[in-house]
């Protein structure tokens, strides 16, 4: 057994739960499924299986968070701070996340390191991008006043493919939350673990 495998098995939990409304929860049916190391066929972990009821619950939580929550009302500078904190936590857990991505996807070390780095940089990029992402006042004749105001669109459903589970989750989550949207993320059943970790990191960083 490789050193990477041994170290990561020590860090993982026996069951990875759903993350709904800021809480780790079991699926409504209580069912789980196994995720495997494609290089060896070994079981890495059990993951809570989401049902239609769970999906509805997640969508409703995201809608309530958008309609009645505080995230979209925060100044862009404050949201930018949170995105940078997400990136900082990911950097502090870089080796752990890389190892888990290798186990779950079968990627090479170099590929996993590059893709985790890209995911971190996505949050840093959008933290900077939103600071200058503002509406404009347009010159108009006479007594007219014309301006554009940029607003978050609402709840974004994000479906993540199996082959780039963390990087593509970051591609989708970072810009959505940067502008004030709420998100529902559906990772691939073949490679769900690092997307779950990303959700937990977002909570730790202060995404409400």
CATH assignment of the domain containing 55: 3.40.605.10
- Buried b or exposed e, range 91-123, using 16+ CB within 10 angstroms: eeeeebbbbbbbbbbebeeebbbebbebbbebb
Domain count, the chain: 1
- Chain Cα centroid distance, residue 184: 9
- Chain Cα centroid distance, residue 104: 17
What is the mean predicted confidence (pLDDT) over 125-137? 84
The tokens for 32 are 């789980």
Range of the domain at 89: 3-205
- 13 pLDDT band, cuts 50/70/90, is low
What is the mean predicted confidence (pLDDT) over 173-181? 96
What is the mean predicted confidence (pLDDT) over 32-58? 95
Q: Which residues contact 4 (CB under 8 A, 6 or more apart)?
A: 99, 102, 103, 109
Q: Which of 11, 201, 200, 205 is nearest to 102 (CA)?
A: 11
Enter the pTM of the model.
0.88
Judge contact between 30 and 38, C-beta under 8 A. Answer: no
């Amino acid at each position: 057994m490789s050193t990477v495998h041994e170290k990561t098995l020590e860090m993982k939990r026996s069951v990875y739960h759903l993350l709904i409304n800021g809480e780790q929860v079991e699926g409504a049916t209580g069912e789980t499924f196994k995720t495997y190391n494609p290089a060896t066929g070994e079981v890495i972990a059990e993951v809570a299986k989401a049902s239609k009821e769970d999906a509805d619950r997640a969508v409703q939580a995201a809608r309530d968070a958008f309609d009645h929550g505080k995230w979209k009302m925060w100044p862009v500078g404050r949201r930018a701070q949170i995105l940078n904190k997400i990136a900082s936590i990911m950097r502090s857990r870089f080796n752990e996340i890389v190892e888990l991505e290798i186990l779950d996807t079968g990627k090479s070390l170099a590929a996993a390191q590059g893709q985790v780095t890209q995911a971190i940089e996505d949050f840093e990029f959008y933290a900077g991008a939103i600071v200058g992402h503002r509406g404009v006042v347009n010159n108009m004749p006479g007594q007219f006043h014309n301006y554009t105001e940029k607003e978050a669109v609402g709840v974004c459903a994000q479906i993540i493919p199996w082959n780039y589970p963390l990087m593509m989750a970051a591609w989708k989550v970072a810009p959505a939350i940067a502008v004030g949207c709420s998100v529902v993320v559906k990772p691939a059943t073949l490679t769900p673990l690092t997307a779950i970790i990303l959700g937990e990191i977002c909570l730790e960083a202060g995404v409400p």
